[in-house]
Amino acid sequence: MWRMDTKEDLIKATIRDLLRIAKTYSRIEKLPIPVDDNLEVTTKEAHTIQAIGEYEQINITQLASHFGITKSAASQMVAKLVQKDFLSKRQAAHSNKEFELSLTPLGQKVLLAHEQFHGSDLAGLIDSLSGFSISQIATLSVLLEALGSVMEQRLLPRGKK
């Protein structure tokens, strides 16, 4: 058991808990989501499909920004999803270099399956957190924002920090 004699000890314990949660989430991202009897998608694929379904005329640069990943990684995921017939890619009207992404009918089916699959998780989380006060939830939000900021700084090239 970790000692928590000081504020710094409590901060370190909290960071350990958040890192454990992040690792668990990473494992969850790899689990398949059943779409129908013959089709499963990864959670990562489903989240990409969800983002494209929620934002009309999103492009690869915006998708990369949404997930905090490189344009190359977003482009690779999009190519994979286009190949599986979940997405369509069309030339943007305002640019020869950009493509707008949209869901195919099969992509819409995946989006619905994803919403149903995670709907109970979200409802359970909302139910669990509803017992906390607004100030406790606000504190959690600020804590997560600070942690996210430190993590984003870590991803920047050495000279840009």
Q: Which tokens go with 87? A: 């997405």
SS3 content of the chain, % helix, strand, coil (to 5): 65, 10, 20
Confidence class for position 131, pLDDT limits 50, 70, 90: very high
Q: Which tokens go with 134? A: 């607004």
Q: What is the pLDDT of residues 51-74, one digit of tens each?
A: 999 987 788 999 999 888 999 999
Are 83 and 41 within 8 A, CB to CB? Answer: no
pTM, to two decimals: 0.65
pLDDT (average), residues 7-12 = 89
| List of domains in the chain | 31-150 (1.10.10.10)
